[in-house]
Amino acid sequence: MVDLEALISKMSLEEKVLQLLQTTGELYNPDESGKLMGNMFGIEIDDYMAWNAGSVLGLEGAEAAIRLQNEHMEKSAHKIPLMFMHDVIHGYRTIFPAPLALACSWQPELAEKASLIAAKEASAAGTHVTFAPMADLSRDARWGRVIESFGEDVMLNSLFSEASVRGFQGDDPKEKDQLAACVKHFAGYGMAEGGRDYNTTEISENALREYHLPTYKAALNAGSKMVMTAFNALNGVPCTGNKWLFGDILRGEWEFDGVVISDCTAIGELVLHGFADDNDEAALKALKAGVDIEMVSTTYYRGVKSLIEQGLLSEDEIDTAVMRVLQFKETLGLFDNPHKGADPKLEEQLLLCREHRDAARNIATECMVLLKNESVLPLRKSDKKIAIVGNYADNKDILDIWRCTGKPEDCISVAEGLQGKLEFNAINGCSDEALELVRASDVIILAIGETPEMSAEAGSRASIELPEEEKRFTESVLQLGKQVIAVVFAGRPMDLGMLNEKANAILYVWFPGTEGGNAIADILLGEKEPSGRLTISFPVSTGQCPIYYNALPTGRPTESLEESTRFRTGYVDAPTFPRYPFGYGLTYTDFTYSAAELSKDTLCKGESITASITLANTGKRPGTEVVQLYIRDMAGSVSRPIRELKDFTRVKLNVGEKRAISFEITEEMLRFYTLSGEYKSEPGRFKVFIGENAHCENSAEFRLFI
């Protein structure tokens, strides 16, 4: 056990502040003259800073990590080991479906498994910390980072965030095959105005506590060791300098004693926000807010000495931040073993091993959502001529930009996944040649969608339609009257235009990961049943954004799902409701629900009510249904959402099988932040909905008495 207080007492102010600096892995690649290469954004870091920095971002590979750690331990003043951090979002080399897709499985245990495998690969490659999970509630399909979120519901977001932390960290992040998790972005980043990344947000404290903060707290309750600041300003105060967020809530109310890290260059950006006059003031405000590590930029190193000399900052405040960083390194076991899990031989064995690829394939099949099926799927053997066309027909670049060290050449394309299982001709792209193949064929597998660069960070879009080339090609294909099965790759909900009306089937596969093509083949051929359900609403058009199921009611609600009525909330040129609602997804069979029933129609504190239905598989194949329980508080001291997901269960039924499904409703499930700011339930009338998605109307009512 290292005496950290004694260690800090031996350090100069410069050495302390450098423990708060995170450099990038590319910085340590020597150029021809043997000098360190310049860093991104033109930020200058000299040799002394580099060899005494506290952590490194984005270094890849066990050999590189071991070599750099050894050199660092030789050259650094106090032999304090480096921490290596990386964006291991949904896989290291074996890439799993993107987080939004993972959530559509409605199986948090799959996110935990994917994170566990990612941790094994990344730790063997020398990584100690991952910048995941992203707990930001996301309601606007224009925002590119919806792909990195778990969707629009606070309950599901919390379950998946917890599961991700458990997978990455295990029982102890000190173990050689585990990573420390960093929940991000604190807070409210998903509400960026206009869906424009890095934009400001306006969220009332009531809404912040009700819908946004619980997911970050869930990740911390699961043990997340680090928190990352958000780029956005929250009600006019940039999060990276927001003392209320990090001082009052995170470290005060929640008693978090771990490390806070800025997002990349976010501290210097406080000047651009108009929140700080210069970099020194930006450093002061971030440190006072409780931000310990500065990612990439150098405002701390350049400004702290002057701030202390002016009496604006004390060295004790720096010591507090340094202590948290050193304690984090001790938590990771780096003082005992600076190399932790780094092992070139194990890295070679684990990366893309058969076990991991099989897991990626199986998980991907659970995440795809069947949006439409006019009895054309699953594909059957026949004498019909099948064509696979579109920009994803035989395209291996099916990973979103959060691919870590994953490579397109590792991936399975749609054509490769179907090879040997189905007779077809394939032309990749949207060319005239591809259209000629369509004309000569009977069944068309149209593999289209966004490119990876169209989503994720800095991937906001003003229009969420198909890219123009694909849109024109799709319209040409649909006009030929062929049987069309659309396989859509995307990092967000999209407006699919004519596909919604004229395609015979639509399988939404997101960015499905390394084994995407094999997983798609499993679904198309019926070797696996589609069971994914949406965790984010699909708008009819971009103009509906943001659109989400758990909105507050208005005084003039829309009464029809199909059309808007004047002088009711809505549009004169489009429906008010989404194309595909939260919770929606089809299977290869049919399910029927009996009427919702309650065990009693009153509830008192300390009691419970059982809500139940009977589910029947009335189709011709076995299948899995996700039965969802929603509750609406009909009146409160503040307006309550139209409905809220409170529970769900996945049910697999054979043909003709029936099963009674029940949910327990307690008073605790009805609590919310009231007008007085208290978290409690209020007496009154409640409506219960049990069904297949957020628009189900199978309901019953009860009253709560307190």
Report, as residue numbers or ranges, the catalytic residues. Answer: 263
Nearest residue to 534 via CA among 495, 504, 502, 508: 508
> Given CA atoms 163, 168, 170, 173 in this order, what sign does their dihedral have?
negative
Nearest residue to 407 via CA among 355, 368, 452, 450: 452
User: What angle is formed at CA 487 by the lines to CA 486 and CA 490, rounded to 5 degrees?
Assistant: 120
Nearest residue to 187 via CA among 234, 121, 128, 129: 234
Whole-angstrom CA distances from 596 to 184, 271, 613, 628, 699 are 39, 56, 5, 12, 6
Task: Check if the beta carbon of residue 95 is closer than 8 Å to that of residue 107.
Answer: no
Per DSSP, which regions of 149-276 are E strands? 180-186, 226-229, 233-234, 237-238, 259-261
Which pair of tokens denotes residue 677? 């700011």
Render 462-515 in DSSP notation, one character per residue. Answer: S--BPPHHHHHHHHHHHTTT-EEEEEEE-SS--B-THHHHH-SEEEE--S--TT
Q: Counting every residue, how long is the chain?
A: 706
Nearest residue to 499 via CA among 511, 520, 481, 485: 485
Buried/exposed 220-255: b ≥16 CB within 10 Å, e otherwise: bebbbbbbbbbbbbbeebbbbbbeebbeebbbeeee
- The Cα–Cα gap between 454 and 431 comes to 21
- The Cα–Cα gap between 594 and 120 comes to 45
Name residue, tokens 């809500």: 611
Per DSSP, which regions of 81-164 are E strands? 83-86, 129-130
> Given CA atoms 158, 516, 623, 378 in this order, what sign does their dihedral have?
positive
Task: Check if the beta carbon of residue 529 is closer than 8 Å to that of residue 591.
Answer: no
Q: Which stretch of DSSP H or E encloses residue 658?
A: strand 658-666
> Given CA atoms 190, 194, 198, 201 in this order, what sign does their dihedral have?
negative
Task: Check if the beta carbon of residue 350 is closer than 8 Å to that of residue 124.
Answer: yes
Residues 6 or more apart in contact with residue 588 via CB below 8 angstroms? 370, 373, 377, 378, 526, 529, 530, 619, 621, 623
User: What angle is formed at CA 149 by the lines to CA 698 and CA 634, rounded to 5 degrees?
Assistant: 30
- The Cα–Cα gap between 448 and 454 comes to 13
